Chains A and B, each alone.
Chain A
Amino acid sequence: MAKKKISRRNFLATGPAVAAGSAISARGLTQESEAVHGTPPSGISLRVQSLISVLTKKGLLDPKAVDALIEYYETKIGPHTGAQVVARAWVDPAFKTRLLENASSTITELGLTGIGNSRADLVAVANSAQVQNMVVCTLCSCYPWALLGLPPSWYKDFAFRSRAVIEPRAVLEEFGMTLEEDVEVHVWDSTADLRYLVIPERPEGTEGMTEEELAALVTRDSMVGVEKLQPYRPEGEV
């Protein structure tokens, strides 16, 4: 697969440390405008949206409460699925290599069929001591929901969507992440055609754990790239 530096339009991160970094796209994005925009809501999704919109305008519905409910149920379709993928990548370096090259086809090895939207490609990006990846959808809220569940409300929030690309470090800091100066932040802008999964670093203290135990440590936020997994300490140990 051709690895090429992607353009600013697709790689919108700014800041000195970021500008120095070379972002690698898993897929050359030549049709920039197509890839960035996403597709308009259609069919059944548009029916639900218009209903929510009309009821909201009449004061019969609080969209925030709807979001809160959705978040409550998000565990139903994730993010344990994404966690499985991450845990396998941690224990199986060859799997991780394949995943980074072609995530859409590699996750089928785990019996996962696509990412819910057959038109969308999945791209996995791995964190390291030098690189922190963060996922955003600046336009709407494209999200690998078949792997991570439904997007949290902050992911859809305008402030997050706009600030994530302008001042990613400040945003990460608000999520409780302090980055060393030499760590590059790569911000990936999701589209209707491309969804990103961040492979967080395996936490310290997890040597000898089974894949299943590891999967239980992987959080949703770490797979969106706004959380660093803390070193594992067995219960009772200080």
Chain B
Amino acid sequence: MIDPKALKNLPLLPRDEEGPVFEEPWQAQAFAVVVQLSEAGLITWKEWAQYLGSVIREAESRGEHDTGKRYYEHWLTALERFAREKNLAQSDELEREKEEILARFIEHTHTHTHSD
């Protein structure tokens, strides 16, 4: 599904012999978004490795020695930065979207509560 060589360029990626491993659903989602963007030609793996590498190095320079535990947090931070810099999604858009998601949830919950 993904060129294994591309993933080799990503240091620290939690993986087993068959590929990446995830501990929680959001990690797989964040991973899948990058795979999709690369398949759509919006980013190359080389470029992604640079984004991710920068975020990890910044964390390390703050004295956070990552053992891989926070790998996908860095992954998401890098993805948000990429989306911002390439003008795919700005911070204010994301903030509005979060509010909408929460509003939909509350509305949904409300409907559900009084449905019977």
Contacts and interface: CB of A to CB of B under 8 A. Distances in A.
B101 A48 contact: no
Contacts of B109: 37, 139
B101 A70 contact: no
A77 B21 CA distance: 7
Interface in A18-66: 33, 36-37, 40-41, 44-55, 58, 60-62, 65-66
B23 A69 contact: no
Contact of A150 (B28, B97, B101): B28
Contacts of B88: 54-55, 58, 60
A66 B29 contact: yes
B36 A40 contact: no
B28 A46 contact: no
Given A46-B98, A73-B28, A76-B21, A41 B1 contact: no
Given A33-B113, A36-B112, A47-B76, A69 B94 contact: no
B62 interface: no
B106 interface: yes
Contact of A40 (B20, B93, B106): B106
A44 B36 CA distance: 20
Contacts of B1: 69, 72
Nearest to A139: B112
Chain B interface, >50% SS class: helix
Contacts of B32: 65-66, 69-70, 73
A44 B105 contact: no
Interface residues of B, number: 45
Interface footprint category on A: 35 or more
Interface in B54-84: 73, 76, 79-80, 83
A53 B88 CA distance: 12
A116 interface: yes
Given A40-B105, A49-B101, A76 B19 contact: yes
30 contacts: A37-B113, A46-B98, A47-B80, A47-B94, A48-B26, A49-B29, A49-B98, A49-B101, A50-B97, A51-B83, A54-B94, A54-B97, A55-B33, A55-B88, A60-B37, A60-B40, A61-B33, A61-B40, A65-B36, A69-B28, A70-B28, A73-B32, A76-B18, A76-B28, A77-B21, A77-B22, A139-B108, A139-B112, A145-B25, A151-B25
